[in-house]
Structure 1
Amino acid sequence: MKAMIMAAGVGSRLMPLTKDTPKPMVPMTNRPLMENIVELLGRHHFKEVIANLHHQGESISGYFDDGHDFGLKLLYSPEEVLLGTAGGVKKCEWFLDETFVVISGDALTDMDLSELLAQHRKRGALATIALKEVENVEQFGVVLTAEDGRISRFQEKPGREEALSHQANTGIYVFEPEIFKYIPAAQFYDFGCQLFPQLVEMGAPFYAVSTQDYWCDVGNIETYRQANVDVLQGRVAMKPGGIVLEDKGKSRVLLGEDVELGDEVNFLGHVVIGRGCRIGSGTVIKDTVIWEQSEIGPASVLKDCTIGRQCKIGSGTIVHPGTVMGSACKVTGNSILGPSEGL
């Protein structure tokens, strides 16, 4: 079976973390976010996969190479100029010559893709969208369906009081190759704003399947940190990179390879420490994600924050909740950082 991973996005809502890192390569419990998607496709017997690339695409292709180490064949479709969701898929028409799945490279999910395919084929659909019920509809495109699952209408990021549905479009689709008849070539074209309304208007066999499986749109810093917590708590089938330490309560700490801890380091809540980090003695870290090869000086306090790779935080520094530091930042000792000072 064949699939396409959408991996060309810039990830602006995760800035400054994505300044030097494409969103699909952002660490999720010490493994690239897209690695979860590649492994998910492998578990459901997809053997041939293509990914579109744009923002720092060489770091994606350099990591995954030809996909051999992940048990599949992985090709790439570079986009010098972004073509939109549907336009990017259209460019890969030469490859997607059978029933295929499109999935975002920057989401976290353990969705049963085999069941999604089965429902698509059972209904004789041209296109099928996987839906997930959400509470905060303002951040998503929501979908209305008839009793038989046929899609009747879309609402793009409606207000809470205006929303006619809480079923969000997950960005996971199944298509028949005939879909390419409705996507113009060599131009920007979008699934949600252009192709999907066209399919509804023409009465195409266009269906939705609601899932109870885990799915998280890692769209901002808050959802990024929550997704890390969800992995640590076992809410999603993803293996973290490192050793998970648990206390008698609900706290969990993930230590990547070659982490050095000083004496009397105190972890609280859910903490992710990346590979090669050095944590100084007497430091307190609560509900925080720290990327690889960062150094935290002794007697520092970090709470509810996100620290990029290769950062250096001097001793005695206090980092307040909500702070986000991009990679390679340096902070002198005895500093106080709040969200507005995030670098």
Structure 2
Amino acid sequence: YPDEIRNYFCDGSKWGINIVYSYEKELLGTAGGVKNVEDFFEDSTFLVISCDSLTDIDLTDAVGFHKEKGGVATLILTEVEDTSQYGVVLVDEDMKIKGFQEKPLGGEAKSNLANSGIYIFEPEIFKYFPPREQFYDFGRNLFPDLLSKNVSYYGYRHSQYWNDVGGLDQYQQGNFDALEGKVKVDIPGKKIKEGVWVGKNCKIQEGVVIIPPVCIGDNCTIKKDAKLFGPIILGNNTIVDERAVLYRGIKWGSGYIGKDTSLIGAIIG
């Protein structure tokens, strides 16, 4: 959905950043897409961050580790409990990468360190890539190729929050974790009490019960005797009618939740 992405983020000025886009007529893979914008990085160390990760990893510390090790690449690694859901990375005592296992079962796993999809590279990494406009993948191609050529690169183990938002369950958990302070995210709205944020021009009528954490967007109306049991996120222009009960859910965009309705664990666009 390139058009939707660009229409939403535009030039990035809303967030105080400058966004430049690269369009691919045909998908070039995770690494091929980076090769295609090689000139953008000039001759300096650069980061590649997967867009579907929610994290507050200390990138400054990670870059410091990368510089200290002196490798051509550093993969940021995260500890996982269920290795069967991730490709895991094998490292030696110096955190030098020695190999990979693709989604091993618990008893077969030789590591519990997963590839987080965040990488630090030196510009000379591009000499190990094929020419531009060719499909090339970090996990399937580049990293195994580096090992086969005995190129030294490393893994940085972090201890901060990381969520691979690959489905609705992870998406919901990431939003809830943000409300619960498990990941450093700015919550919109005015904090009216611990764990409750309310946007502009909201109306909360008598008898409403709000159990934190709850984030209510702008121009929302919560009618009398409605109950919100957090974690709850309500998007802008939402109306929650009388005696409705919401439990652990997300409601984005404008909309209406009717009288006496019960929503449990719902994600509504």
**TM-score for both structures, normalised by structure 2:** 0.89
Q: Which moved more, 1:151-160 or 1:126-135?
A: 151-160
Q: Is 1:220 aligned with 2:162?
A: no
Q: For the Cα contact (< 8 Å) 2:73–2:119, is it kept in 1?
A: yes
- Rounded Cα–Cα distance in structure 2 between residues aligned with 1:226 and 1:75: 30
Counterpart CA distance in 1 for 2:223 and 2:182 is 31
Match of 2:121 in 1: 175
1:255 partner amino acid: I
Q: 2:239 aligns with which of 273, 278, 299?
A: 278
Separation of aligned partners in 1, 2:181 and 2:253: 22
Pairing 1:208–2:155 present: yes
Question: Contact 2:211–2:228 at 8 Å: present in 1 too?
Answer: no
2:254 alignment counterpart: 293
Structure 1 spans left out of the alignment, 5+ residues: 1-55, 309-343
Map 1:321-332 to 2 at 5 A: none
- Equivalent-residue separation in structure 1 for 2:171 and 2:13 (angstroms): 28
1:107 to 45, 50, 53: 53
Tell me what 2:17 maps to: 72
SS in 2 for 1:258: coil
Alignment of 1:22-41 (within 5 A): none
Q: Alpha-carbon deviations, 1:106-143, whole Å to 9, x = none?
A: 21111111111111111111000000101121221110
Worse overlay, 69-78 or 220-229 = 69-78
Q: What corresponds to 1:302 in structure 2?
A: 263
Which among 136, 140, 145 is matched to residue 198 of structure 1? 145
After TM superposition, give the deviation of residue 67 of structure 1 in Å.
2.6
Return the offset for 1:73: 2.4
Task: Report the residue type matching 2:25 in the other structure.
Answer: E
Contact 1:243 1:254 in 2 (8 A): no
| Preserved CA contact (<8 Å) 1:131 1:167 | yes
TM-superposed CA distance for 1:232, in Å, is 0.6
Is 1:158 aligned with 2:119? Answer: no
Write the deviation string for residues 11-70 of structure 1: whole angstroms up to 9, x where unpaired.
xxxxxxxxxxxxxxxxxxxxxxxxxxxxxxxxxxxxxxxxxxxxx212222232223333
What are the superposed Cα offsets for residues 77-98 of structure 1, whole Å, 9 maximum, x if unpaired? 0123211101111111111222
Helix, strand or coil at the partner of 1:228: helix
Please tell me the residue identity of whatever aligns with 1:138.
S
Which residue in the other structure is 2:205 paired with? none
Per-residue deviation at 1:146?
0.6
Stretches of structure 2 that go unaligned for 5 or more consecutive residues are: 197-208
| AA at the equivalent of 1:292 | G
Q: Distance in 1 between matches of 2:211 and 2:156?
A: 34
- Contact preservation (8 Å) 1:67, 1:73: yes
Alignment check: 8 A CA contact 1:119 1:209 kept: yes
Letter of the 2:37 partner, please give it: C
User: Alignment partner for residue 40 of structure 2, among 90, 95, 100?
Assistant: 95
Cα offsets for 1:178-210 (capped at 9, x unmatched): 111111121111100111011112221210000
